[in-house]
Amino acid sequence: MSEDEPRWLDDDEKATWRALAGTVIRLPAALDAQLQRDAGISHFEYQVLAGLSTAPERTLRMSVLADFVDGSLSRLSHTVKRLEKEGWVCRASDPADGRYTLATLTGEGWGKVLTAAPGHVGEVRRLVFDPLTKPQQRQLREIGRRITRASAPGSDCPEG
């Protein structure tokens, strides 16, 4: 095999890839559907609200929040604008450095998280944790970490 020849997947690798691809497509769609049905928000909106709910003073710089929810600043800005219209989030300049914008979860936003969280956690438990044994959950955590590290910008290869 030449250096330019692709390293094709063998049958086991193809089966593994198909299983993972199915998961990364179906799981977010299922979580989004549950949150839309039960709370009237998207999974991404929930992640934003939940991220703020766990931050000190329920406030984060938009850039930090974008990293937390693994979204672009542009997508986050559009989402936060919608959440502001609902009264769940407010934005303000960072008094420590005016170049940054802070997002803060409002009291109404906190209430939204409290109402949405039980159904979301129940769906996560049903779809991810209930089908797996404890050892499989630990394996999934490690697999997820390795894939995340390997797919991070600037990563040459996974840690092994």
Q: Which residues 6+ apart lie within 8 Å of 67 measured at CB? A: none
pLDDT exceeds 80 at position 142: yes
Residue 34, pLDDT score: 98
User: How large is the average pLDDT for residues 114-123?
Assistant: 97
Tell me the HSE value of 144 on the side-chain side, using a 13 A CA sphere. Answer: 9
Q: Give the domain ranges of the chain.
A: 31-115
| Rounded alpha-carbon distances, angstroms, from residue 44 to 7, 38, 51, 96, 103 | 35, 15, 10, 28, 15
Tens digits of residue pLDDT in 56-111: 999 999 999 999 999 999 999 999 999 999 999 999 999 999 999 999 999 999 99
Q: Write the CATH number of the domain with boundaries 31-115.
A: 1.10.10.10
Position 157 pLDDT exceeds 60: no
